[in-house]
Amino acid sequence: MKKILLSHGGGGEETQKLIKDLFFKYFSNEILEKMEDSAILDINSKIAFTTDSFTVSPIFFKGGNIGKLSIAGTVNDLSVMGARPLYLSVSFIIEEGFDYDDLEKIVKSMAEESKKSGVLIVTGDTKVVPKGSIDKIFINTAGIGKVIYEGLSASNLSEGDIIIVSGTIGDHGACIMAEREGMEMELDLESDCASLWDLVEYVINNDIKIKAMRDPTRGGLSAVLNEWAFSSNVNIEIEEGKIPIKNEVQGLCELVGLESYNLANEGKIVFAVDKNDAESLLEILKKHPLGKEAEIIGKVIDGTDKKVILKTTHGTKRIMEPPSGELLPRIC
């Protein structure tokens, strides 16, 4: 089987060949193929700029792989800032001896995922490190988007605002956990890994007014809500019974003693909107394949303690603490 060699990352002839044979084959576009030290872009607008490194293990999982995730993740970070994803950089760090075929699978799914939001991969880098210096493959993507919806911010929330989540929570985290524990066969879990630009654009095009959007990845729903409570200096109350969650995810959480709202998602958005806009947003979301399981899960209540309060299904109330401690490493 063809393997990735150190020489593929040396910057010489073999690197050129890898770029042309594999990366250009899938990522082909005029800007990338110029092969200059930087891509030259003409945007002439306010832009959004973001980056993420992906270290997920296993690299192939139900519903995606590290490549698909690396595109969707950065596309989503742009999308939730109201920015149409335009350009990506991609940087691979690969362990010597990595299967060429697996790399091709990853690159192919990156190309497919890019098409979903129309984002172009315009610049990149490939490093190959000796066996043992890295576990298989890590991918960094950085992204540039054109801001088409301004004013979104974690500090926009005020009393009465409604919190909406675009679908079931914890799917990605539960899927990775099950795969690692060898439980993926018994449990029918699948990552929700998806590019969310299409959903965001649909919401914007329907003239829905949004105060804040965030994709709840590492740290899950509780990280987003606690950040919002903190940045906006408000309290948020969430009704546990209204949080959409798959039975299998709930089951796994009970089995291993984790809270689903701490689990990573890779294809969901949390929205904060004025109470007068909540029903329209929910209606629009439910019309889109990526938002059909959307639900109103809570609201901003009075007080400035910067707390998130969870009303349990038993009617009791407790604090939804921000996630802390050793959460699942290499989840994304």
What is the footprint of a second copy within residues 287-326 (CB under 8 A)? 322-326
Question: According to the binding rule CB under 8 A, does residue 49 interact with a second copy?
Answer: yes
Give how many residues touch a second copy by CB under 8 A. 86
- Identify which range of 34-42, 191-199, 291-299, 305-313 contacts a second copy by CB under 8 A: 34-42
Question: According to the binding rule CB under 8 A, does residue 78 interact with a second copy?
Answer: yes
In the region spanning residues 244 to 273, those forming contacts with a second copy, defined by CB under 8 A, are 264
Question: According to the binding rule CB under 8 A, does residue 143 interact with a second copy?
Answer: yes
Which contiguous run of DSSP H or E holds residue 92?
strand 83-95
User: 3-class DSSP state for residue 298?
Assistant: strand
Helical axes 100-117 vs 66-79, angle rounded to 10°:
20
Shortest gap between Cβ of 242 and a second copy (angstroms)? Answer: 24
Name the token pair of 201: 């654009």
In the region spanning residues 114 to 133, those forming contacts with a second copy, defined by CB under 8 A, are 122-125, 127-130, 132-133
How far apart are alpha carbons 165 and 266 in whole angstroms? 13
How far apart are alpha carbons 57 and 274 in whole angstroms? 39
Where b means 16+ CB within 10 Å and e means fewer, 170-202 reads bbbbbbbbbbeeeebeebebbbbbbbbbbbbbb
Closest CA to 289 of 183, 166, 162: 166
Question: According to the binding rule CB under 8 A, does residue 157 interact with a second copy?
Answer: no
Distances (CA, A) of 124 to 103, 127, 141, 211, 215: 15, 10, 9, 34, 25
Question: According to the binding rule CB under 8 A, does residue 30 interact with a second copy?
Answer: no
In the region spanning residues 222 to 241, those forming contacts with a second copy, defined by CB under 8 A, are 223, 227, 231
In the region spanning residues 197 to 216, those forming contacts with a second copy, defined by CB under 8 A, are 214-215
User: 3-class DSSP state for residue 8?
Assistant: helix
Shortest gap between Cβ of 117 and a second copy (angstroms)? Answer: 14
- Identify which range of 71-79, 181-189, 233-241, 290-298 contacts a second copy by CB under 8 A: 71-79
* Cβ proximity to a second copy, 151 vs 160, nearer residue: 151
Question: According to the binding rule CB under 8 A, does residue 170 interact with a second copy?
Answer: no
Question: According to the binding rule CB under 8 A, does residue 218 interact with a second copy?
Answer: yes
